[in-house]
C-alpha cells in the first residue's frame, strides 16, 4: 500500500528525490517497554537510576535517558549499595539478578518478554535432558544472557551453516535448538534446515524465536529495496536487528548504508539516486527518521511514500513494581 505523506514539485535548483519509507520501522514493543521502565523508575526513585548495559542499542536514546538521570554501567559492581538498577532489554544471565538479590539491590528487569520466552524454553529443554544448539551472534548481549540461563556446557553456539557442519555432537544425543530473536530470517532458516538435516531428531520451538518486529522490519525492507537505488538504515553498529536490515537490502541487490544520525549522510551517496529507501532498526526512534528526511530535503526536492507491509499493535506490560 502506498500512502503519500508529502508531495512537492521538483525545484529548478534541487533535483527530485522519491523516498520510500518502510513500515513497520523503528521502535518495537520491547524497546518501548524498556525505555518506559527507565523513565518510570526515574519518576519513582528519583535520579540517579543505574542501568546495566545500554538499555537498547541506540546512542540517541541512551543519551536522552542519561540527561534525565540514568547512569549506564557494564557490571553490577559499579552500582552503589541501595541504588535502583535496571537490566537491559537484551536480557542478562541468571547470575546477575542472583547477585542483585545477594546485595539487596532494588532492581527492575527490562528484558524483552520475547527474549524471556527464549530463556524459559532453554530451561525446559535442559529439564528434558536435551543439549541445546543456540543460533546467534557470539558476544551479543542477548546471546550472553540466554546462554547464562543454563549450566555451562549444556548449550552450544552456532553462527553459520559451516558451524553446524562442524558440530561433533553424538548422533543419539537428545538435542534442541533455539535462536536469538534479532537474526536474519532467511539466514536462520538455512541454519535450522542444516541442523534438521544433520540431526533429524532435533527438537525446535513451537513457533520461531525470531521476534515479530525483526521479521516485520526485514519484510518491509524487502518491499522497498527493489524499487530503490539506495537504502538508508537508521541504527547502531552494535544493533543486530539494524545490521540485518542492511544485509537484507544488499541481498535484494540494493546498496544499503547504516547511519546513526542524519549528520552521517554523505551527499555524494545521492549521486545518481532518484529513489531512496529509508527504514530504522527497532531501537531507533521516529524522531531520527524525520531528522533524516529533513536533511535530505536540504539537498533534494523530496516526495515521500510510506509502504506498509504489516500493522503492529503489540504492547507489553510493565513490571509490577512500577504499576502497583
286 belongs to the catalytic site: no
Distance CA 163, CA 185 (A): 18
Whether the CB-CB separation of 108 and 70 falls below 8 Å is answered with no
- Please, how many CA atoms are within 13 Å of residue 44, restricted to the half-sphere of its CB? 19
Query: How would you classify the pairing of strands 2-6 and 301-308?
Result: antiparallel
- List 39, 43, 54, 142, catalytic entry: 142
Other Cβ atoms closer than 10 A to 169: 13
Task: Output Rg (C-alpha) for the chain, integer angstroms.
Answer: 21
DSSP E strand boundaries for the chain: 2-6, 16-23, 49-52, 70-73, 85-87, 107-109, 131-135, 155-158, 175-179, 230-234, 256-259, 275-280, 301-308
Distance CA 3, CA 207 (A): 32
Phi, psi of 158 (to 5 degrees): -125, 145
Instruction: Catalogue the active-site residues.
Output: 142
Amino acid at each position: 500500500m502506498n500512502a503519500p505523506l508529502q508531495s512537492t514539485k521538483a525545484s529548478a535548483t534541487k533535483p527530485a528525490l522519491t523516498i520510500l519509507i518502510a513500515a513497520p520501522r523503528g521502535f518495537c514493543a520491547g524497546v518501548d517497554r524498556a525505555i518506559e521502565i527507565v523513565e518510570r523508575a526515574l519518576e519513582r526513585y528519583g535520579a540517579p537510576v543505574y542501568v546495566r548495559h545500554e538499555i537498547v542499542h541506540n546512542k540517541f536514546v541512551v543519551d536522552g535517558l542519561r540527561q534525565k538521570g540514568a547512569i549506564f554501567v557494564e557490571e553490577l559492581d559499579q552500582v552503589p549499595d541501595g541504588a535502583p538498577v535496571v537490566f537491559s532489554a537484551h536480557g542478562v544471565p541468571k547470575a546477575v539478578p542472583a547477585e542483585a538479590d545477594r546485595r539487596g539491590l532494588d532492581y527492575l528487569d527490562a528484558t524483552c518478554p520475547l527474549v524471556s520466552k527464549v530463556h524459559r524454553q532453554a530451561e525446559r529443554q535442559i529439564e528434558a535432558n536435551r543439549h541445546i544448539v543456540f543460533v546467534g551472534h557470539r558476544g551479543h548481549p542477548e546471546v550472553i544472557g540466554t546462554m547464562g540461563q543454563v549450566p555451562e556446557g549444556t548449550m552450544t553456539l552456532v553462527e553459520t551453516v559451516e558451524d553446524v557442519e562442524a558440530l561433533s555432537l553424538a548422533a543419539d544425543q537428545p538435542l534442541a535448538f533455539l535462536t536469538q530473536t534479532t537474526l536474519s530470517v532467511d539466514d536462520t532458516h538455512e541454519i535450522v534446515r542444516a541442523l534438521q538435516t544433520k540431526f533429524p531428531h532435533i527438537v525446535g520451538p513451537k513457533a520461531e524465536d525470531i521476534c515479530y518486529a525483526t521479521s516485520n522490519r526485514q519484510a518491509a525492507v524487502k518491499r522497498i529495496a527493489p524499487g530503490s537505488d539506495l537504502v538508508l538504515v537508521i541504527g547502531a553498529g552494535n544493533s543486530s536487528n539494524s545490521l540485518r536490515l542492511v544485509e537484507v537490502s544488499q541481498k535484494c541487490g540494493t546498496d544499503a548504508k547504516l547511519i546513526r544520525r542524519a549528520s552521517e549522510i554523505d551527499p555524494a551517496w545521492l549521486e545518481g539516486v532518484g529513489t531512496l529507501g529509508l527504514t530504522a532498526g527497532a531501537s531507533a526512534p521516529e524522531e531520527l527518521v524525520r531528522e533524516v528526511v529533513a536533511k535530505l530535503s536540504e539537498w533534494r526536492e523530496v516526495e515521500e511514500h510510506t509502504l506498509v507491509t504489516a500493522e503492529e499493535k503489540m504492547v507489553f506490560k510493565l513490571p509490577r513494581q512500577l504499576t502497583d
